[in-house]
Amino acid sequence: MRLKNNYACLAAVLFQLITFNQTDGQQTKESAKTGSYLFNDSHFHLTNYIQEGLDIHKYVKDIMGDKIGRSTLFGLPLQQQWSYRVTGKFAPTYYLETDAHLYYYSFTDAFIAMAYKSLTKEQQARLDPMITGFNPTDMYAAAHIRRVLLTFPGVFSGIGEFSIHKEFVSSKIDGEVASLYDPSLDSVLSFCAEAGLPALIHNDIDNPFPKPGKPNYLTGMQDLIKRHPQTTIIWAHVGVGRIVAPLKDMFTPFNQMLSDPAYNNLYIDISWDEVAKYIVASTTSVTHMADFINKYPDRFLFGTDNVAPATQEKDLEIYHIYDPLWKLLTPESREKILETNYERIFDKARKDVRAWEKANIK
């Protein structure tokens, strides 16, 4: 009987050990999985300039997959017109393919909201949709943003990407040209402060073919940021573009801003492969950028600026272009620009916007 009891005790102990090891192994696996993402994407377009793009389920499952933890989500606020008089049977899909106008396409917000709502709660938790379908020259723009929040509560976490000055785009938009000094833009950013919405703004720092002297749009952007200290403003692409190259002393104005408490609401994203080409162009350029990020690690975000990529490999290309930069960042800076700055900004936005919705939805 004693031997039988000893075997029973031994069996029980072995069972507990095996069970513990399996459970512990599973927990370790899950923890590793949770911490194995490469980055959170602060700048992602689900649709393109003719409002076509990627199925949202494919984006979360196959494109984000196990590589991208969280992602902003927005379309493009502009629709490229297909003018038969201009291009005949050729249907342009990009703004550089035709001289026809671009126009604001407000339905993009409803499309993004419905796509988001088709996901499971677990999938939704990985995305932060943004409102883009407003005209920043329209004094009713803030009313549009408010209406979208009230129509689709629980969905949106910010606004943008929207453009003020953008090479080749601004002059193509039907209607008035956007301005950094427009009261309509001020009303939009004031509402963002009220509702807790971060604003992702594309504003070139200068003209595509600048004349010597102070950059054309730097002062205006600085004034805008200082006029709205309670609004989180993310300056897309470090203010540069395909043709708008970095200033010869690019770090001087940004260093002045990031060291000045008047710009505590300013964050900078380094999305877009066109921006990456400048940063990794030489050992000197990438070293200077790494030093700058290491100096202000809390103020930078990384995004792909991809538009409906076909594969995960395509989506990750921009991340790997920046490999020389990642290697030069401190571990703390790398973690912040790739993950935690995003989480800090958008976790707060989710909380604040949901509170605003609760207070304003009757």
Written as one letter, the residue type at 327 is K
Is the pLDDT at 72 greater than 90? The verdict is yes
Written as one letter, the residue type at 92 is P
Residue 345 maps to which CATH number? 3.20.20.140
In a domain, 3, yes or no: no
Cα–Cα distance, 340 to 318 (Å, whole number)? 19
Instruction: Name, in order, each residue with C-beta under 8 angstroms of 190's C-beta and a sequence gap of 6 or more.
Output: 142, 228, 231
Q: Which residues pair with 159 in a beta bridge?
A: 131, 199
In a domain, 220, yes or no: yes
73 touches 116 (CB < 8 A): yes
Handedness of CA 203, 205, 208, 211 (dihedral sign): positive
In a domain, 32, yes or no: no
The reported pLDDT for the residue numbered 35 is 60
Total residues belonging to the chain: 362
Average pLDDT (201-205) is 97
| Crossing angle of helices 218-227 and 251-258, rounded to 10° | 10
The reported pLDDT for the residue numbered 108 is 98
Handedness of CA 196, 197, 198, 202 (dihedral sign): negative
The reported pLDDT for the residue numbered 211 is 84
Average pLDDT (301-317) is 97
In a domain, 22, yes or no: no
The reported pLDDT for the residue numbered 7 is 39
Please report, rounded to a whole number, the percentage of residues in the chain having pLDDT higher than 90: 85
Radius of gyration of the chain (CA): 24
Q: What pLDDT band is residue 329 in, cutting at 50, 70 and 90? A: very high
In a domain, 193, yes or no: yes
pTM listed for this prediction: 0.89
Is the pLDDT at 53 greater than 70? The verdict is yes
Distance of CA 34 to the CA centre of its chain: 21
Cα–Cα distance, 331 to 321 (Å, whole number)? 18
Q: Which H or E run contains 160?
A: strand 158-163
Q: Which residues pair with 42 in a beta bridge?
A: none
Is the pLDDT at 109 greater than 90? The verdict is yes
Cα–Cα distance, 28 to 200 (Å, whole number)? 37
Cα–Cα distance, 318 to 304 (Å, whole number)? 6
Question: Residue for token digits 């272009």?
Answer: 321
The reported pLDDT for the residue numbered 36 is 86
In a domain, 15, yes or no: no
Average pLDDT (11-33) is 35
Cα–Cα distance, 201 to 239 (Å, whole number)? 9
Question: Residue for token digits 């377009």?
Answer: 45
In a domain, 30, yes or no: no
Is the pLDDT at 177 greater than 70? The verdict is yes
131-154 pLDDT tens trace: 999 999 999 999 999 999 999 999
Q: How many domains does the chain have?
A: 1
Give the domain extent around 154: 38-360
Cα–Cα distance, 290 to 284 (Å, whole number)? 10
Lowest mean pLDDT among 2-16, 91-105, 226-240, 324-338: 2-16
In a domain, 296, yes or no: yes
Cα–Cα distance, 205 to 215 (Å, whole number)? 6
Which of 142, 150, 262 minimizes the C-alpha distance to 194? Answer: 142
